[in-house]
Amino acid sequence: MSSVERALAEDLGPGDATTNSIVPAGAEVQATIIARQPGVIAGLEVARVAFQLVDPQVTFCTHVGDGDAVSAGETISTVKGPGRAILTGERTALNFLGRMSGIATQTRRFCDAVIGTNAKILDTRKTAPNLRATDKLAVRLGGGQNHRFGLYDMVLIKDNHIDFAGSITEAVRRARQHSSLIIEVEARSLADVQEAIEARVEWIMLDNMSLADMKQAVEVNQGRAKLEASGNVTLETVRGIAETGVDYISVGGLTHSVQALDLSLLIM
């Protein structure tokens, strides 16, 4: 079952008591989805699926594209078809569309803030349970890039793993015995960076380092591993971080602290 199907089942239960008691079974309606504030739209196809899972007769006509910036008051889409289906699917469709557009909007802000540098904005695994696919899609539509999707597609050796193994070198050795995946190591100090370089890992995360230490890490690394800055990155600090020369900046706030874009569906 997809995340959209689960969301509909959660909302609908045995039936829409309000709509089914008020809206005649044969009623046809036309509605528009309007942006109440400026932002970047993401999730149009997910919203379409939400409506059409309720009733495939619903048509969903878009007036903008995923990744497009919109103004307050702009019409995003027109929805036509059975009135019951449209009102029943409304909240689920808007929940996905609003959340994804909020993520895309915030991602675009971070991407715009680092224009002119080599740094790319990454997401993290700090996504809503069962919504990782749509959360990460929204990041891409906002101009960012996805880090690993889950625990299975990259080795990321963090502080607890290092402490358990006793050292970065030993943790990397153990990882290579069991996996051929790309290995990233979390570095808490410049000494950790040097040890990770000597272990020939492909990717190093600079965890909560100062700008001065990040610059030194870039110099020491000499392009051997990809460098990712991480830890409490904000719109106020991201430009300075990018200017240190790191390759990537991961921002958990893209998905873990989402402010949904305000959207409304209005019957015409």
Per the annotation, the verdict on 109 as an active-site residue is no
Each residue's pLDDT tens digit, 57-75 = 999 999 999 999 999 999 9
| Range 49-53 average pLDDT | 98
Per the annotation, the verdict on 80 as an active-site residue is no
What does the pLDDT read at residue 268? 86
* Helix residue ranges per DSSP H, 81-131: 83-113
What does the pLDDT read at residue 211? 98
Each residue's pLDDT tens digit, 200-259 = 999 999 999 999 999 999 999 999 999 999 998 999 999 999 999 999 999 999 999 999
Catalytic residue among 158, 215, 224, 239: 158
* Residue 1 scores a pLDDT above 80: no
Catalogue all structural domains in the chain, each as residue range(s) with its CATH number: 3-108+259-267 (3.90.1170.20), 112-256 (3.20.20.70)
Each residue's pLDDT tens digit, 17-46 = 999 999 999 999 999 999 999 999 999 999
Catalytic residue among 11, 74, 80, 91: 91
* Residue 5 scores a pLDDT above 80: yes
Per the annotation, the verdict on 158 as an active-site residue is yes
Portion of the chain with pLDDT greater than 70, in percent? 100
Catalytic residue among 16, 135, 186, 247: 186
Catalytic residue among 68, 202, 207, 213: 207
Each residue's pLDDT tens digit, 138-158 = 999 999 999 999 999 999 999
Catalytic residue among 80, 109, 125, 126: 126
Average pLDDT, the chain: 97
Per the annotation, the verdict on 91 as an active-site residue is yes
| Range 130-140 average pLDDT | 97
How many other β-carbons are positioned within 10 Å of the β-carbon of residue 180? 8
| Range 118-146 average pLDDT | 97
